[in-house]
Amino acid sequence: MSISIRSFALGPLETNAYLVKNETTGESIVIDPGMQPQALLDAVKGEKVAAILLTHTHFDHIGGLNQLRSLTKAPVYVHPLEMAWLTDPRLNGSARFGLSEEIRCEPAEHELTDGQTLELAGMSFQVLHTPGHSPGSCSFVIGKHCFGGDVLFASSIGRTDLPGGDFETLMISIQDKLFELDDDTIVYPGHGPKTTVETEKMTNPFVTGLLR
């Protein structure tokens, strides 16, 4: 199986959306369709999108969900702790940050559970529940690729001062889940450039000394 990964920095916060395509079957999945999603929508026209995966449901990660759903008819996967966030602008943050329009989406079709394997578009994704940035944050691992949302960034970590965030929980998620992946696993974060597990173990100032 051959896969390709395209990233799109969407909206005012340059939130990374990812289009992961199985080049063998021609099917794709989308991770985190953010705000102002036109570049992503243009990219998926004519594509067969099998699913939409959400690492979490802060407004900047779901701002383009309604448009992408309408275009692709693809089912949405989210952790149950954030199912209600899709429909409630107070929970997803769009009511708090002065956006011109509050974000409301229909509930997701599928709930994610820690440790499950999703078979989508001819690809196998392992689901890791990685809370701390938000209660239902999840990371998706396919081979040596990890889509981690706002858990771990290049030389940084996700913020924990938003409702439902917790620093200690985030540190546990990084140490016990992401840092258990192979060192050469590529981490595709919700913002900024990709990195590797090994690089963050060695150089990330927020997690130096975290390893047992």
Q: What is the pLDDT of residues 24-50, one digit of tens each?
A: 999 999 999 999 999 999 999 989 999
Q: What are the structural domains, with CATH classification, of the chain?
A: 3-203 (3.60.15.10)
First to last CA, the chain: 36
Q: What is the pLDDT of residue 108?
A: 98
What does pLDDT average to over the chain? 95
Asked if 20 and 39 touch (Cβ cutoff 8 Å), the reply is no
Regions of the chain short of the pLDDT cut 70: 98, 209-212
* DSSP E strand stretches across 54-207: 76-78, 110-111, 117-120, 123-129, 138-142, 145-149, 152-153, 156-157, 186-189, 195-196
H or E element in which residue 48 lies? strand 48-53
Exposed/middle/buried for residue 62 (C-beta within 10 Å: 0-12, 13-18, 19+): buried
In sequence order, the 6+-apart residues with CB closer than 8 A to the CB of 45 are 71
Q: What is the pLDDT of residue 1?
A: 76
H or E element in which residue 30 lies? strand 27-31
